[in-house]
A and B are shown apart, each in its own frame.
Chain A
Amino acid sequence: MNGDLRSPLARARGLGSAKQGLHHWWAQRITALALIPLVVWFAVSLVLMSGADYGAVRAWIGSPVVMVLLILTIAVGLHHAQLGLQVVIEDYVHADGAKLALIVLCRFIAVLFGLAAIVAILSIGFGG
């Protein structure tokens, strides 16, 4: 094996995929890197807050540092999740229409829940 995994035809054409693969790959890795501290922070907080009541939870969510970290965790987490689910869908769903529909649905859900969460966090922090 000469270390080249492309087929003879692909080698002759000399080009890779013309799609968004490289950008997608990087975005998945960069979001993973950012999520390392965020997920550790969130998991520890969740465990420590276990049993906290309505008032305590709101006071926690509404404090400035927590607001920033929580919004980051949700936004970056949903972005990474949606990139990851796209790969899973591409692996198992082969009909073009269904594949595209599922990927778009994942994006819509991610944006909807992400925006709802950000508005909720800001309203707890600023709305009193």
Chain B
Amino acid sequence: MSVANRPVHRPLSPHLQVYRRQLTSVLSILHRATGIALAAGALYLAIWVVCAASSPATYAGFQSFNTSILGRLFLGGWLFSAFYHLSNGIRHLFWDAGYGFELKDAYRSGWIVVGVSAVATLASWIVGLR
């Protein structure tokens, strides 16, 4: 067969309508979602220190948002995103270094990520969101 006619063996995108949901795909899209959430969180962190650098009244306004229901959801969501993206990010770095590609390893490390981020998130909510 000439080179030009050889079939192209490259991976094709999953077709979402017929794609079965599974742990690995859910964790993958969660990494992206939490990355975007953390990007918003980084802007919020900047707003926080800018408020702390201005008057007590400005800071009090900022704090009253943090202690509102919406603020609690926001900060709680940030903590979950941070712990999840952190532990799954370490999983990513192991892959980048060439480890953990076997399917059973990908599931095992995936469940570890679920466990670690669930425990860390719950602990931080209990201590921090009183």
Chain A interface residues (CB < 8 Å from chain B): 1, 5-8, 12, 29, 32-33, 35-36, 39-40, 42-43, 46-48, 50-51, 54, 57-58, 61, 70, 73-74, 77-78, 81-82, 84-85, 88, 109, 113-114, 116-117, 119-121, 123-124, 127
Task: Give complex CA distance A1, B99 in Å.
Answer: 22
B49 & A77 in contact (Cβ 8 Å cutoff): no
| Number of residues of chain B lying within 8 A (CB) of chain A | 40
Residues of B within 8 A of A42 (CB): 82
Chain B, residue nearest A40 (CB): B86
Task: Give complex CA distance A84, B90 in Å.
Answer: 15
* Number of A-B residue pairs at CB separation under 8 A: 104
B11 & A88 in contact (Cβ 8 Å cutoff): no
Whole-angstrom distance between the Cβ of A75 and the nearest chain B Cβ: 10
Task: Give complex CA distance A39, B63 in Å.
Answer: 22
Residues of A within 8 A of B15 (CB): none
B49 & A61 in contact (Cβ 8 Å cutoff): yes
Chain B, residue nearest A77 (CB): B42
Which applies to chain A's interface (DSSP): helix, strand, loop or mixed? helix
A120 & B93 in contact (Cβ 8 Å cutoff): no
Task: Give complex CA distance A6, B8 in Å.
Answer: 8
Chain B interface residues (CB < 8 Å from chain A): 3-4, 6, 8-11, 32, 35-36, 38-39, 42-43, 45-47, 49-50, 52-53, 56, 59-60, 63, 75, 79, 82-83, 86, 89-90, 92-93, 96, 124, 127-130
Residues of A within 8 A of B86 (CB): 35-36, 39-40
Whole-angstrom distance between the Cβ of B11 and the nearest chain A Cβ: 7
* Given the contacts A54-B52, A120-B49, A74 and B42 also touching, CB distance less than 8 Å: yes
A51 & B130 in contact (Cβ 8 Å cutoff): yes
A120 & B52 in contact (Cβ 8 Å cutoff): yes
* Given the contacts A7-B10, A40-B86, A50-B130, A78 and B79 also touching, CB distance less than 8 Å: no
A-B CB contact pairs (8 Å), 23 listed: A6-B10, A8-B3, A29-B96, A32-B89, A36-B89, A43-B79, A46-B75, A47-B79, A54-B56, A57-B59, A74-B45, A77-B42, A78-B42, A81-B38, A82-B39, A85-B39, A109-B43, A113-B42, A114-B46, A117-B46, A120-B49, A124-B52, A124-B53
Known interface pairs A88-B36, A114-B46, A120-B46; 12 further A-B residue pairs with C-beta atoms within 8 A, sorted by A's residue number:
A8-B3, A8-B4, A29-B93, A32-B92, A36-B90, A42-B82, A50-B128, A50-B130, A78-B42, A113-B43, A117-B49, A124-B49
